[in-house]
A and B are shown apart, each in its own frame.
Chain A
Amino acid sequence: MKTSIRFFGFAGLFGIAIGIVYWFITYEPFGTVLLILMGVATLIMGYVVWRRTSGKQFPEDAETISYADDAGDEIGHFSAGSLWPLMMAIGVVVGVEGLIYGIWLLVAGLLLFAWATVGLMQESRG
């Protein structure tokens, strides 16, 4: 995971560094804020990866490993199929149309989105 952490870390530090350089060259606030926030956001991603992975050995990082060494580990749970993502998306699309065409459409979209989200969560719990 060192490469992943370095990837996010360097990208984040680059954003902050270029933001500082940009400020002292231009004294322009919009771009400075955007660049520094970009750097901070990327550093947060690196921090999350570091927190989740520090002190652990991952088989994908091992130069020479046989699949037998990794046997038995659960890779993850994969959904067999679900209607809820489509329902959530319809809810979002209908809801944003409500901002244009009327509050009734917004309410309908929000209700559909909320219903689909609850459905998805219940399905996730199995």
Chain B
Amino acid sequence: MSTTTAAPSAEHPKTRRLGLVGWLTTTNHKQIGWLYLGTTFVFFLAGGLLAMLIRIQLARPDMTFLSRQTYDQIFTIHGTTMVFLVIAPIGLGFANYFVPLQIGAPDMAFPRMNALSVWLFIGGGLTIYASFLSSHGPASAGWTFYAPLSDGQFSPGAGTDMWIMGILCVSTGSILTAVNLMATVVMMRAPGMTMWRMPLFTWNMLITSLLILVAFPPLAGALALLFIDRHFGGHFYTPAFGGSAVLYQHLFWFFGHPEVYIMALPFFGIVTDVIPVFSHKPIFGYAGFVLASMAIAGLSMAVWAHHMFTTGVVDNPFFSGMSFLIAVPTGIKFFNWIGTMWRGKLTFETPMLWCIGFLLNFLIGGITGVMLASAPIDYNMNNTYFVVAHMHYVLGGGSLFAIFAGVYYWFPKMTGFRLSERIGKWGFWFTFVGFNLTFWPLFVVGLRGMPRRIQTYSPSAGWTDPNTLATIGFFVLLVGVILFAVNLIVSFRTREPAGDNPWGAGTLEWATSSPPPEHNFTWLPPIRSERPVFDWDHRNDAEAVAGGDGGHGGGGT
């Protein structure tokens, strides 16, 4: 692909190199973005290590590699890590780095609050992992932490309390970041950057921020009440004393289902920024995409109890109907993506490969989600590995693949040099094949009735072969992740210069240097569409078409 340079030959100030004190005191959105991304990568490796232990334990029947208690603790912390410490915050990390750049802002609206957010996130994550050192070990009530399983009687010990406090810290950090992002997007856009010209990643982060603001407080409330039950004689969740265990589920899932979209919408945005670049076309249906994101966010607030069909105390037809409805705006997004690629001049650089992997995996995750939205099917599948496989196809095959697309796409902007395409493509194929080898068999064992969260199983259950295949698949997937780490190391050592706009992209972050200077821009192109850099790069073509008047009213200084 040809390399284009958006900016005129302006002298870009050099980016400051930070020492330890610089990192600890930074309030710059890009460094905070790096802190988020680096920390989530470490947590991703930790969560992946726990997943490996789970897969080893389940590889064959009657395994005793892990005790039942240890197994419970490991799947609890694995789920917690991937949901609260990896997928959700990595979206905030990308947003920290790229939302100000995409809208032409010099920083986030509240830089010091931004720093507080990331430190609360890191502190919360460390608190959860420090619980491995506590007397009873870490929490073991599953990442959903249902009461009464998580109360003082069934889950004694400080590890459970540390989980609660860690999640409260992470939640607070997320809420502060959401406020910050919304203020930044609403108040700090560059002149000419109307809302309907914003890149779609930024649009989706605005919508995600609103979801965070309405979803996380109920979680904080649920956990605060749980803590009161555990330590201060409360009975919010104990039916024998007038409480309600279902109240916990309501509060948790009022957070939990929007959380699925908090873990998906940012990455829909990344994919939607990447696909047009490698299709060499503008996005198909910009406004439709934005409205579909809003519809998904709105509907996602009204489907929480489809996780509670089998409690028998929620209105199944209402939640089933609302859940089916979400398939409509999600389907619109698939039309956006496919319509953009349709008759485009497709090229298959690594970010595009990850996007295509995302489309295929997320389609499977989405369709099985529609199946589970049907209450009669859910009654059969509830708490089986079918649900586990569905969830992993959405968050692993969907969000994680989009995350890798984002990393490969934006890495040159963040560092000034490229990741190796060759290693990247090998990494993609190992991850794609490994992922499907790991999680497709889980649909099979789910349909055969294997319950989630069981520590081992009998050889006569008929679950052995799919489980063995899933464990082999995990190690193939692991090779893909190792190749990504190798790619990072090789690229940091070779430092092949990338240029300011190596992909020929059109959104505003590509108008500045790679990496961007302290306050982001020394120059901005006029913003007259959602692709201002593309417009600027092709201004001579536009002027030729318009008979010498390209119609640019703005200055570029």
Binding site for B on A (CB under 8 A): 1, 3-4, 7-8, 10-11, 14-15, 18, 22, 25-26, 28, 30-31, 34-35, 38, 41-42, 45, 49, 59-70, 75-76, 78-86, 88-90, 92-93, 96-97, 99-101, 120, 124
Contact = CB atoms under 8 A, between A and B. Distances in A.
B366 to A, nearest CB: 22
A85 B555 contact: no
Contacts of B557: 67-68
A83 B119 CA distance: 11
Contacts of B196: 3
B115 A93 contact: no
Contacts, number: 174
Interface in B1-36: 22, 24-28
A100 B213 contact: no
28 contacts: A7-B206, A15-B298, A22-B302, A28-B315, A30-B251, A31-B304, A34-B250, A35-B302, A38-B301, A61-B195, A62-B192, A63-B192, A63-B528, A64-B528, A64-B554, A65-B554, A78-B106, A78-B111, A81-B25, A81-B26, A81-B27, A85-B27, A86-B24, A89-B169, A90-B119, A92-B123, A93-B126, A97-B165
Contacts of B341: none
Contacts of B28: 81
B191 interface: yes
Contacts of A68: 555, 557
Nearest to B22: A81
Interface string B286-322: 0000000010011001101100000000110010000
A86 B192 CA distance: 36
Interface in B168-219: 168-169, 172, 182, 186, 188-196, 206, 210, 213-214, 218
Interface string B109-153: 101110110011011101100000000000000000000000000
Interface in B543-557: 553-557
B interface SS class:
helix
Interface string B448-463: 0000000000000000
B107 to A, nearest CB: 5
A82 B165 contact: no
A81 B556 CA distance: 30
B539 interface: no
A91 B158 CA distance: 19
B210 A28 contact: no
A25 B315 contact: yes
A31 B250 contact: yes
B231 interface: yes
Contacts of A42: 210, 213-214
A99 B553 contact: no
A66 B301 contact: no
B161 interface: yes
Nearest to A100: B161
A75 B227 contact: no
A93 B116 contact: no
A28 B162 contact: no
